[in-house]
Structure 1
Amino acid sequence: PGAPAESPPDRYRYDPADPTPAVGGARMVRDSGRRDNTALEARPDVLTYTTAPLEADTEVIGEVSAEIWFSSSLTHADVFVRLCDVDPRGRSWNVCDGLTSLTGADKVTRATVRLWPTAYRFKRGHRIRVQVSSGAFPRYARNPGSGEPLATATRLLAADQAVYRDPAHPSAVILPVRLG
């Protein structure tokens, strides 16, 4: 909720040969919908940012978006952002998410990610968590990193990704909170 402090970027490696998997979400398959994301969040290619326990119920209603300051060791990269509800037992449940593809990702850039609209109440004592990664396969086609078309790509290039969250690069998730 406040301005970020000075900090180095958070880093992870995305490998399209072992793509970050999709867990739950808006899909027309058996394992879609609300799912526990705890195992996914333990992967080294998924960053998480979590609030303190909420002091009151918080209703989020409408368009959710994220502005993630990002860079990659490759020109072509994806930024996937997921909003989650962490219950008092520590289980992380998906609420909504979105993905954007970048060209020119080898330079620090602000990636705007539009997540699915939502109407969700985070209960008192729960925490809000944001995941950042570079994919949700097979829900979204894996980004090969080569710039080749997704359907016909033959080269899969691993990339070193960075997420910035300092005063010059204030990454944020924008939540439409209902007051009163």
Structure 2
Amino acid sequence: MADPPPSTGHPRPPPGTGEPASEPDRYRYDPADPTPAAGGISISHGGRVEDGALEARPDVLTYTTDVLEEDIEVVGEVSAEVWFRSSLAHADVFVRLCDVDATGRSFNLCGGLVALTGADQLSRATVTMWPTAHRFKRGHRIRVQVSSGAIPRFARNTGTDEPIAAATTLRAADQEVHHGPEHPSAVILSVRSPG
């Protein structure tokens, strides 16, 4: 859906093709400093918020479309398929859909989290987000955030198989988000046709 941030690695062509492979995007998730939730569905401090501070964190990846040339209306279910690998077997994937206005401010629309076991093996994580009804206006951009937490909305993943309520061990993890022809990470939107 969007071009990934510049990669620090060197692209390698996949076997049997002449096209370069995309290097995965990486971030480090530390349960001692877990990625916070900002706005969204919550008993307190919920709703629509500006996401600039959250998106500036090193444990949050963002993917943004070009400026929209026409309105796009999204109504219904929203989900994401993220090709993901962690340095640990236990990890979470949190995805958030945002609207970036003409001034560059990013606002949350919906999000969701999936907890993975066996996350140290590259696999496709399916993340179900809250349904939405939103019009991305011409001149705006669509943004997707990927991280590994949204505390306190979701309990932090400690990186172990200890029960969350009794966990005493915290293990930081190096996370990878893969994309490209062989690992097409994407957000799935229900776009309503005009008229």
Mapped pair 1:39 → 2:53: yes
- Amino acid aligned to 2:29: Y
Deviation at 1:57, TM superposition (A): 0.8
Mapped pair 1:19 → 2:34: yes
- Amino acid aligned to 2:37: A
Deviation at 1:6, TM superposition (A): 2.6
TM-score (norm: length of structure 1)? 0.97
Mapped pair 1:28 → 2:28: no
- Amino acid aligned to 2:64: T
Q: Structure 1 unaligned runs (5+)? A: none
Higher relative contact order (CA 8 A, sep 6+): 1
Which among 109, 120, 127 is matched to residue 106 of structure 1? 120
Asked if the contact 2:2–2:63 (Cα under 8 Å) also holds between the matched residues in 1, the reply is no
Asked if the contact 2:85–2:123 (Cα under 8 Å) also holds between the matched residues in 1, the reply is yes
Deviations 1:2-21 (A, max 9, x none): 99973100000000000000
| SS of residue matched to 1:170 | coil
CA distance in 2 between counterparts of 1:105 and 1:89 reads 37
Corresponding residue for residue 66 of structure 2: 52
**If you compute each CA radius of gyration, which structure gives the higher value, 1 or 2?**
2
Deviation at 1:147, TM superposition (A): 1.2
TM-score (norm: length of structure 2)? 0.89
CA distance in 2 between counterparts of 1:106 and 1:172 reads 20
- Amino acid aligned to 1:44: P
Deviations 1:107-163 (A, max 9, x none): 001000000000011110000000000000111000000111111110010000000
CA distance in 1 between counterparts of 2:118 and 2:47 reads 33
CA distance in 2 between counterparts of 1:2 and 1:172 reads 9
Q: Which runs of 4+ in 1 moved over 6 A?
A: 2-5
The residue correspondences of 1:147-166 to structure 2 (distance < 5 A) are 147-166=161-180
Q: Structure 2 unaligned runs (5+)? A: 5-19
- Amino acid aligned to 1:118: T
Corresponding residue for residue 116 of structure 1: 130
The RMSD of aligned alpha carbons is 1.5
Corresponding residue for residue 8 of structure 1: 23
